[in-house]
Structure 1
Amino acid sequence: MGQYYTCNIKEIDVAELQEMYKKFVVECPSGGLYLHEFKQFFGISSQSEASEYAESAFKSFDRNGDNRIDFLEYVAVLNLLLRGKPEHKLKWLFKVFDTDGNGFLNKVELQKMVKSVYNVKQGWTKNMDTQRSTPEEASDRIFQLMDEDNDGKLSLKEFIDGVQRDDWMRKMLNVDINLTKWIAEHRDKRKGEVKG
């Protein structure tokens, strides 16, 4: 299992790792985060639109396939999301939304991606050009920009190249989103709902 993490963990210093471990143990006293806990953490019900995305994200984090995210997987994911290069984040994002695992994004998968991004970045769409304000319209624009061979699906290369050459796409996907802040806000919101 350790072979997945050796190149990334060295970028996190010992003090940070210890602090992360303390937080992980508090949130996951069993030593692992299971899918139902992962969904609960983000307030995602099994019937919601975000459920499939959450399951796909969870699987991408669960590198050894044991149906839980252990501490090393947790650290590797945080390192990718907080410190990873934009190209690596895009590869991960592509993998998460390629829900059928065929190596391509079709229009349905792309619409789910855009809807999820819109949900994460609540209120952002209000500041967009109104001509591209819905996830469907944004998905259509993305497909027009990226599907270079017009085969009705996006390869990983088309996806990465498209995002890297288009300012609107980079802003829409914003691979540099502050996930730490977003996670903290959702955790605080969830804890407030439990208390209230």
Structure 2
Amino acid sequence: MGQGNSKLSSDDIKKIMSKTNYTSEQVSQILKDYQSVNQDSKGLSLEEFKSFFSIRFKDYDDASILHMFKIFDSDKNGRISFKEFVGALFIITKSPVSDKLSFLFDMFDRDLNGYLDLEESYNILKLALNTSVGLGFDVSQAGSFAEGLLNSMNRNSHGGITKEEFIKKASVNDTFVRMLCLYQSYDTLLY
């Protein structure tokens, strides 16, 4: 597949399906959506990526979407190929909870130091609360998770929480996982 990715062979579709658990209909819809924002057929620019994700993830600010773009631009060419795009959607929609938490950690570790500091942790919690409230979830227990996360940081000599600590702590907290819609696939919102 070239950058434009205007057509997928049946082998390409089968590869995507085997790696993502998307159906052939979902792959076709993802390709259609990709092509609708990929104006120059060279892969998604940052602006095209923003236009796709900002509509679907209203709680993500421009800085978060920019960081997400950088994470998913795996070949670092400044464009998101269809393969990278499908990979991004897979992580967001169908990957295991631990992979989604790993992605969130990477997205919010903006200084790339391997730790979530107080501000970065706050930004994840803010996203979780905004997402939950927007979907009508009960967020009354969110404070206990936030307190536990921040207490973990205070006990560490490095003043932050590592990816492993974050995944371990977050994955066992059903309230937090539900707040981020990590149990649900985003099928109803995306594919």
- Give me the TM-score of the superposition, normalised by structure 2: 0.73
Partner of 1:150: 156
Change (3 A) 1:120 1:172: closer
Change (3 A) 1:38 1:19: closer
Preserved CA contact (<8 Å) 2:145 2:173:
no
Partner of 1:168: 175
Bigger drift between 13-22 and 63-72 goes to 13-22
Task: Give 1:108 deviation, angstroms.
Answer: 0.4
Residue pairs, 1:36-51, within 5 angstroms: 36-41=47-52, 42=54, 50-51=61-62
Partners of 1:100 and 1:91 in 2: CA distance: 16
Question: What do the CA deviations read for 1:89-141 (whole angstroms, capped 9, x no partner)?
Answer: 11111111110111111110011112223333344587322883xxxx86444
Does residue 106 in structure 1 map to residue 112 in structure 2? no
Question: What do the CA deviations read for 1:38-75 (whole angstroms, capped 9, x no partner)?
Answer: 3334169xxx9812111111111111111221111111
Letter matched to residue 150 of structure 1: N
Partners of 1:142 and 1:124 in 2: CA distance: 23
Structure with the higher fraction of residues in helix conformation: 1
Does residue 74 in structure 1 map to residue 85 in structure 2? yes
Preserved CA contact (<8 Å) 1:148 1:158:
no
Partners of 1:73 and 1:159 in 2: CA distance: 25
Partner of 1:53: 64
Change (3 A) 1:129 1:14: closer
Preserved CA contact (<8 Å) 2:73 2:80:
yes
Partners of 2:93 and 2:24 in 1: CA distance: 16
| Structure 1: gaps spanning 5 or more residues | 185-196
Does residue 30 in structure 1 map to residue 40 in structure 2? yes
- Give me the TM-score of the superposition, normalised by structure 1: 0.71
- SS in structure 1 of the partner of residue 126 of structure 2: helix
Partner of 1:18: 28
Q: CA RMSD in A?
A: 3.4
Partner of 2:95: 84
Count, aligned residues: 174
- SS in structure 2 of the partner of residue 30 of structure 1: coil
Partners of 1:129 and 1:14 in 2: CA distance: 40
Question: What do the CA deviations read for 1:116-175 (whole angstroms, capped 9, x no partner)?
Answer: 23333344587322883xxxx86444222x448433210111011101222333233332
Does residue 117 in structure 1 map to residue 128 in structure 2? yes
Bigger drift between 61-70 and 21-30 goes to 21-30
